[in-house]
Structure 1
Amino acid sequence: MATDTSCPYCKRLTFMDYVQDSARIVDEDDMRAEAAFQCAACGRFSVGGKQYAGFTTDTSGHSFPLRLHETSTPAEIAAVLIGSIEYWEPVAPVGKAYEDVPAAISAPADEAYRCLSIDAYRAAVLMSRAVIEATAKKQGIKTGRLVDKIDALAERGHIRPLVAEAAHAIRLMGNDMAHGDFASTAISRADAEDALVLMDEVLNDVFAVKNRLEGLLARRAGEEPAG
């Protein structure tokens, strides 16, 4: 039996082969089942699991016990677990590729998405804030506070006014945390997701639109007939 997922070690989308007789119920209170799996690409082992593996839910939302119990055999547990795995350990962070952004900026932007994928919401927001500041510095805006750098990006035409507002929203969200005041800042997943989407708007304005336009114009110029 096998299932497919991204391997946390080799980062490939691959088949994870179930290790025979490894399935166990590891928490009887919530019927959490886990099993060992081996990556078909690199050979390393991961754990796949599911909470409430011994229950099913009907269309009305009522849960009914299946035949799993604390004395179920590994084969019985695996039959329920395979194909319905909810989580993998260790967690494989998922980033984002940026084709039109310089590596010095795209690498931390990708890292921000990796933080989000493992539920590190405060880290994701802080990274997005830092990406915006690094973007300003890449444009030669190296002095002043972040608020001044964002204003300068807008004043010089690098970002649209609405995108400047988005950048300020990220700045404000991360301000307290940037200065070590974590207790006063609650960050939800929705907050972090919005921060990264808005960060992408900054990167799109500053880098992607310009690079794609230059590529388009260069191709069009090469295709125009001489004379």
Structure 2
Amino acid sequence: MQFHTPDGLTEIEVTHLFVAGWTGRDHAKVAHHIAELAAIGVAPPSRTPLFYRTSAPLLRQADSVEVLGPGTSGEVEPLLVQGAGGLWLGLASDHTDRALEAHSVAHSKQVCPKPAARQLWPLADVAGHLDQLVLSCDIQEDGTWLRYQHGTLAAIRPLPELLEACPLPEGGAMLCGTLAAIGGVREARAYRMALTDPVLGREITLAYHVRPLAVVS
């Protein structure tokens, strides 16, 4: 994969991909969410946070992705990448099959592509103000763009803490968790996302469309 960095174009071969789940910093809210999901048949995690191992080729830089059926949705997440001599911060979407979640969260993570932005920042550049970074996601519904997620990284467990729990090997990448969906989790056919650094005045952006494939039986 090729990424634009402050030092120019960098190529990193991603060979290991992890999706961190249940990473909310407010433990009471995480417990409440687990209970909500349990009520609709989603099995609770064995521990929190939990690190799901997924196929590395799922992480891709694309303007559109194909998924099976209509029951999927994306989530804006910080992306950590270890490679090219450093540790980097980027942006990705944990696109997930929501219908499959009731059967297995791990399986639901594995069946959808994970769109990634084409930009990376050295993690060291933002290490002193990580909690001030802003995540945002808009979705398109009936031709109108609506705010779907918004908040700072202060809502997510500190990224160094996640790295300590799940160290990344060379070529490793990790999606680090997300924010609550405004109006509830739901399907959308178009997403635009951003990771904004208000301290250094810059932004990483990601936009993609979803193409559902027919479920044939």
TM-score bracket, normalised by the shorter chain, equals under 0.3
TM-score (norm 2): 0.21
The structure number with the bigger radius of gyration is 1
Structure 1 or 2: larger helix share?
1
TM-score (norm. length: structure 1)? 0.21
Hey, which of these two has a bigger chunk of strand by percent?
2
